[in-house]
Amino acid sequence: MFDVDKIRGDFPLLSQSPQGRRLVYLDNAATTQKPAVVIEAIGRFYETCNANVHRGAYALAEAATEAYERARRRVARFLHAPGPEGIIFTRNATEAINLVAYSWGLSQLKPGDEILLTEMEHHSNLVPWHLVAARTGARIRAVPLREDYELDLEAFYRLLSARTRLVALVHVSNVLGTINPVREFVQAAHDLGALVLVDGAQAVPHMPVDVQELGVDFYAFSGHKICGPTGIGVLYGRPELLEAMPPFLGGGDMINEVWVDRSTYAELPHKFEAGTPHLAGAVGLEVALDYVEGIGLDRIGAWSRRLADRAARELSSIPGVRVYRPREGSGVVSFTLAGVHAHDLATVLDAEGVAIRAGHHCAQPLMRRLGLQATARASFYLYNTEEEVEALLEAVRKAARLFAPLVERAIRSPVQG
């Protein structure tokens, strides 16, 4: 049995009434709450283990270094990576993708080369490639979305060619909840000699990920979306690729030898970690991974999906509500209420203590493809309950009553807002 009451007890913020109000927290795709074990581990690091890593010749610095490197080994096990040398700590998924764009992209791409993205990417897997394409002359192409909110695989096979150097795609969409068939993308891309980068920000919190089984070349995620702290993210890269790539940032800790006019670089993974890293963040992430794996990522994913499926089904039956979700999605439900801006909808929900996200969700090309400016988005995680789904539904019904004249006018007109 999935004991959600017990799980809720692990999260201090959920057992309080922040700002003295009810909180139904349904913005987990933006960031997740933190269990006490993670909060305590961060405090304990500063209380018992704080020193800079890889530098001091004293016991405390060795303990800090060991804690940091143990966290790296934990992440390697979590992703089923071949070893810790392919695990680079970054600030977040965004920085992990930028690392690949600037290091691999700037050094490898030439005019005429193509980077194949998709129409459902988060801006963090679009803008870095825009910046690099502008400097290298590479061309960006995108796999289109189908009417059923899945990627158009036939179009993917048409767009993929010997010119494609990199396929960069999201594992799970933060707007639609679509789960992309990464293995199929990898096989086809590798057959033509292209590399594959996967943005796993919304995948790792909801499913076990095995980077070797998927065959990906690069995989990025953020700690804060999987019960870990903010400010710590991960890039997995195939070690032989990382080995051949130039550093992204320069500074302390990433060097071998430095002269005034040149330097040589450290071995992996340190070559890509300039400056003092987020030590407490890495330690907190390790404990977060222990926590979610202790419950089971399969079970967490199934629970979030079950809540999202129910929310999607019942939201669809409210007149004027439209849900944007594939047949089998993750724990995310995007929806609109006809005639009502998503921000106004979210404001009404907030007054009921229901916290959802409204906007373009950093996916403007996708919004454009859907013919929308914004959606409301409820995203579920392991500590959400059936009662919270009901609170969401009740609040949306209330908004529909409040905005009834607008909703009715929009339903009668052919254009959905």
Per CB under 6 A, residues contacting ligand PMP are 29, 92-94, 122, 124, 170, 174, 199, 201-202, 222, 362
Residue (235 or 348) nearer to ligand PMP, CB? 235
DSSP letter assigned to residue 172: B
Distance separating alpha carbons of residues 252 and 263, to the nearest angstrom: 11
Residue (136 or 379) nearer to ligand PMP, CB? 379
Label residue 337 exposed, middle or buried (CB < 10 Å: 0-12, 13-18, 19+): buried
CB atoms within 10 A of CB 351: 13
Cis peptide upstream of residue 12 (ω within 30 degrees of 0): no
Residue (156 or 219) nearer to ligand PMP, CB? 219
CB contact burial 133-170 (16+ within 10 A = b; e otherwise):
beebebeebbbebeeebbbbeebbeebbeebbbbbbbb
Residue (208 or 239) nearer to ligand PMP, CB? 208
Active site residue 362: yes
Residue type, 305: R
Question: Token match 């906007």: residue?
Answer: 359
SS3 407: helix
Residue (25 or 403) nearer to ligand PMP, CB? 25
Question: Token match 């079970």: residue?
Answer: 299
- Given the residues 42, 362, 366, 407, the one annotated as active site: 362
CB atoms within 10 A of CB 312: 20
Distance separating alpha carbons of residues 218 and 236, to the nearest angstrom: 5
Residue (278 or 340) nearer to ligand PMP, CB? 278
State the DSSP string of 112-151. Answer: T-EEEEETT--GGGTHHHHHHHHHH--EEEEEPBPTTSSB
Rounded to a whole number of angstroms, the minimum distance from the CB of residue 51 to ligand PMP is: 27
- 244 contacts: CB under 8 Å, gap ≥ 6: none
Rounded to a whole number of angstroms, the minimum distance from the CB of residue 371 to ligand PMP is: 21
Rounded to a whole number of angstroms, the minimum distance from the CB of residue 31 to ligand PMP is: 8
Joined together, the tokens standing for residue 199 give 């943005």
**What amino acid positions are annotated as catalytic residues?**
362
